[in-house]
Every structure is written in structure tokens, then in C-alpha cells.
Copies of this chain bind each other. A is one copy, B any other.
């Protein structure tokens, strides 16, 4: 396996009908939804669910995203979403993602989403210390 950010989470998922394309395979345009499930799970695993973020008045809009497709998965197949924060800026952070098959031996896809830290008005703010802390090993 590649060097992946630590800490990170593994989230089990199964290819849903609506996630397949005309070949009956996991459709790449759905990766972003899967990535998002991964980052949400990562945040929850660190006790920072969306309600918590909202109460702390911090939001993480996406500014950039990218992915590579390595192998496909078929409808109803179980697979893994791996997610962690791998890069911190002064007012930004980058989530990294991998999708692995059930055995965690075949890498299906890799990707990232780049986020900025903003307040409810959309104004860019510094990454608060309580957030930065979750990226430390």
C-alpha cells in the first residue's frame, strides 16, 4: 500500500445501483460522493460531525478535486473507502482518498479534495487549533 496520511479511517461500502454506469461498474463521477462519505466519516471519528462544525461556525467548501481510476468494481460488490487529511495550509486542508476492493489488495481509485476554511459568511479564516489537532499522529 502507498504511504497514506495517518490518522485515517476505513469505511465499508457496497456498489449501489445508482453508482453503476452502463457497464454495470462503479461510475467514476460517483467517486466524489464516496470521497465525501469518507471525509464525513473521518470527521465523525474525531468527534467533529457536521452539527459540531456548524455550532463552531466553521465550513470546509471544496476548491479543487482530482482522482485517478485504477480498477473497477461491479454492482453490489463490497469495497473500502479510506480517508485522511494529508496536507494543512494556513486556511486550507487536503483530504486524501483511496478506494480498495474487499480484500484491500486491489486499489480501485485514488483522489483528493482541497478545502478552504471559511466562516458562515464565506470569509476565509485560519484553520483553528481544535481542527488542526486531528491531523496529528
Assess whether A89 is interfacial by the CB under 8 Å rule: no
A63 contacts across to B, CB distance below 8 A: 68-69
| Contact present for B28 and A16 (CB under 8 Å) | no
A61 contacts across to B, CB distance below 8 A: 69
- The docked-state distance in angstroms from the alpha carbon of A49 to that of B27 is 20
| Contact present for A36 and B62 (CB under 8 Å) | no
Summarize A's interface: helix, strand, loop or mixed: mixed
Assess whether A75 is interfacial by the CB under 8 Å rule: yes
Q: Which of A25-60 contact B (CB under 8 A)?
A: 27-29, 32-33, 36-37, 40, 49-51
Residue A17 contacts which of B14, B17, B36 (CB distance < 8 angstroms)? B36
Closest to A28 in B: B62
Sort chain A's interface into a size bin. Answer: 20 to 34
Assess whether A2 is interfacial by the CB under 8 Å rule: no
28 contacts between A and B (CB under 8 A): A14-B40, A16-B33, A16-B36, A16-B37, A16-B40, A17-B21, A17-B27, A17-B29, A17-B40, A22-B22, A22-B23, A22-B24, A22-B75, A28-B32, A28-B65, A29-B29, A29-B33, A32-B32, A40-B76, A50-B75, A61-B69, A62-B69, A63-B69, A64-B66, A64-B67, A64-B68, A65-B67, A66-B66
